[in-house]
Amino acid sequence: MSVLPEPDLRHKLPALLESPSLYRTDSDTPAFEVKFLLTEAEATEVEHRLRPSLLLDPHVDPSLGNSYRVTSVYFDTAAFDVYQRTKGHRRRKFRIRRYGSALSVFLEQKSKSQQRVRKRRTSIHENELESLSAVESNEWSGAWFAKKLAKRGLSPVCRISYQRLALIGTSTDGPIRVTFDRSANGEAANGHVPHPVANGKSLLNDEVIAEFKFLGAMPTIFKTVIEDLRLAPRPVSKYRRCVEAAGLVSALGNGNA
């Protein structure tokens, strides 16, 4: 069964490109992100089975195999409370994200409880990042993010780049999205600007992080692939892996989140 957008929905395609946790309009409808750590062979098979029923994200770069580059700066406290999952920090992550080489970046807050996800984000120009250190006006669109950082004592810790392939479609509950993240590299952050990581530590080796994203009940197309291939959800955090690979703290975990 195809879950491609119907012809009358294609004019809404820009909205479908958003993660369901950003697209949601009904607070009673939960957004889910179910994560899997796959071998390259498994990821290729999942993509092969889903491709006939979903659209390729139009923001792809053919030179990157129809994927696109994502670079994020992650924040933590001086005591690495986010990494250590200290009470009050374990459910929220703050990051600045850039897609490809765009001059605009996104200020993001991600809250997660088990597999339920909420996201808030604001797009600003890269040049506005200097305002994060001394925000003085509530009129600036990024003021909420700056205040959250200050209140929680957060500063840039890690910078991570990876290649993402994304497939999109719709279900009865709303948009659905599948992402495949490969070739992740990370290093210690030297500021707020998400410059691409050129020679960082490898964070995935030959692994692929796949995420199934949806609103409400899991779509049948996802259930079928998971059951047929006997896939088991597994938490994995690029941020935690980067902290450990870069030697920023003693390795207290195994890269999971």
Helices 40-50 and 220-229: crossing angle in degrees, nearest 10, is: 140
**CA neighbours closer than 13 Å in the CB half-sphere of residue 196:** 12
The residue length of the chain stands at 257
pLDDT tens figures, 116-161 = 888 899 999 999 998 898 766 678 999 999 999 999 999 999 999 9
Given CA atoms 111, 115, 121, 127 in this order, what sign does their dihedral have? positive
Tell me the two tokens of residue 15: 């909205």
Considering the entire predicted model, what is its pTM? 0.87
Q: Which CATH superfamily is domain 7-245 in?
A: VTC, catalytic tunnel domain (3.20.100.30)
Q: Which of 251, 27, 67, 49 is nearest to 164 (CA)?
A: 67
Q: What pLDDT does residue 156 have?
A: 97
- The runs of H, that is alpha helices, within 39-126 are 40-50
Q: What pLDDT does residue 139 have?
A: 83
Tell me the two tokens of residue 245: 């690979």
Given CA atoms 226, 232, 238, 242 in this order, what sign does their dihedral have? negative
Query: Residue ranges of the domains in the chain?
Result: 7-245
pLDDT tens figures, 63-81 = 888 999 999 999 999 999 9
Going by pLDDT thresholds of 50, 70 and 90, the confidence category of residue 11 is very low
Percent of the chain with pLDDT over 70: 86
pLDDT tens figures, 185-239 = 999 999 999 999 988 999 998 999 999 999 989 999 999 999 999 999 998 999 9
Q: Please provide the average confidence, as pLDDT, over all residues in the chain.
A: 87
